[in-house]
Amino acid sequence: MQTKRAYRFRFYPTPEQAITLARTFGCVRVVYNHMLSLRSTAWAQRQERLGYHATSAALTALKKTPDHIWLNEVSSVPLQQALRHLQTAFVNFFAKRSGYARFKRKDGPQSAEYTASAFRWDGRSLKLAKMREALPIRWSRQIPKAAKVTTVTVSKDPAGRYFVSLLCDDVVAQQAPVSDCVGIDLGLSHFATFSTGEKINALQVFRKHEAKLAKLQRHLARKQRGSARRAKARLKVAKLHAKITDTRRDFLHQLSARLIHENQVIAVESLSVSNMQKNRRLAKSIGDAGWAEFVRQLEYKARWVGREFVRVDRWYPSSKRCHTCGYVLPKLPLSMRRWSCPACGTDHDRDINAAHNVLAAGLAVLAHGETVRPECMSVDAQRLGSVKWESLSFREGSSQRMLDQNDR
C-alpha cells in the first residue's frame, strides 16, 4: 500500500550543530509568534483576515529590518514552514477541530521542518542546510531504499533530547490474511479485555511515578525563576515525564502490533475520551491509560497491512447484552463485575461478555455495511459472531465479506 510514513530517530548533535539548531529553533519560534500576533491584531482592530501569502510578504519585510536581520542567519525553509503551520492552525480553528493558536514558549518543545530543498539524503546520511556535517543519527532501523524522503523535522523535547523524523512516500507490504478476529473492551482495572478471554493489565505508568513526580515538582516550585538551579529542577521533571511517555508509547505499540499481526478483524467500541475525562475522579486514570492513542494505532496499522478495523457505536449496550441469547439487562451498575442472564442462565464476566458483543456487532457492521448502526439491527444480526468465520473468504490479501445465504 502506498502511504506516507515517518521514521523517527534520536541523534546527538555536535556542539556546532547544537548552536545552529538552537538558532533555528529560536527563529522559527519568533516568526511563528510574530505572525500570530500580527494576524490576531489585524482581526481585533480591523476585522481583517490575513492568510499565508500576507504573512509570507510580512516575513520578507521583517527580515530586512535592522532589529530582525539575524533571521537571515538560518535557512529560510523552516521559517516558511512555520507560516504554513500557522495557517493550518487557523484552518483547524475555523473548522472547529481545535482551539485558537497559541504562542510558542522558549522552554517548551522546539521543532523545525525542512523540505526537499533544504536537506540532502543519500540513503545513509542526512545533512541539513547551514550545516557542514551530517547529523550523527542513531539508526535504530533501516529505511527502505524505495522510500522517498519528502520532509525532515528536527525537534528537541523539554528533556533536552534531539529527534529527527523523516517523512517518506513508502510502500507498506500487505500481510497474509489470517482467520482470527477479536473484539476489544477497554477499561481501567484491565487496560483491554479480548473476546478470546484474555485480559491485559493496565500499565498505570503515571501512577507508578506519581509520588516521585510530585516531589520533583515541589522542588521546582521552590526555585527562583531564572536561576540555574531552577533550570536543573525543570530538566529533572521533564526527564521523568519523558520516561512516562516513552514507556506508555512502547506498551501501546507492542500491543497494537501484536493484535494486527494475529487478527484479520479488530472491533473496538467507540469512546468519547474527551467527555469521559470531564469526570474529575477518573480523568487521571483515563489519561494514563492512553485509549485514544491505542485506537489510533490500531486504525492506521490495520489500514497499512490490509486488516479490517471496525468502530462499534458508543451507545451499543455491550456490557448489558447477553452474547449467548441477546437478552439486555435493564440496569447494570459499574460495581457489578459478574452477572447471570435471567433468560438463559449463562454466567458472564462483565468485560469478556462486552468484548464478545463488540466483536459480534463489528462483524454485523462489516456484513450489513459500515453505515448501519449496531443498535438498529436485529438480535440475529448482532449475533453474527457465532457464524463460522470460514464464511468470510479472503482474496488477494483483502477481506471479502461474503455471508452464506443459509446464515442470513
By annotation, the residues acting in catalysis are 185, 269, 351
User: Phi and psi for 125 in degrees, rounded to 5?
Assistant: -140, 155
Q: How many beta carbons lie within 10 A of that of residue 248, not counting itself?
A: 19
Residue given cell 468502530 in the structure block: 311
Which DSSP string corresponds to 281-329?
TTHHHHHHHTHHHHHHHHHHHHHHHT-EEEEEPTTS-TTTB-TTT--B-
Q: How many beta carbons lie within 10 A of that of residue 19, not counting itself?
A: 11
C-alpha radius of gyration, the chain, whole number: 26
Q: Are 338 and 347 in contact (CB under 8 A)?
A: yes
Q: Report the distance separating Cα 291 and Cα 368, nearest Å.
A: 27
Q: Report the distance separating Cα 277 and Cα 113, nearest Å.
A: 33
Q: Are 167 and 155 in contact (CB under 8 A)?
A: no
Q: Report the distance separating Cα 30 and Cα 38, nearest Å.
A: 12
Residue given cell 516513552 in the structure block: 246
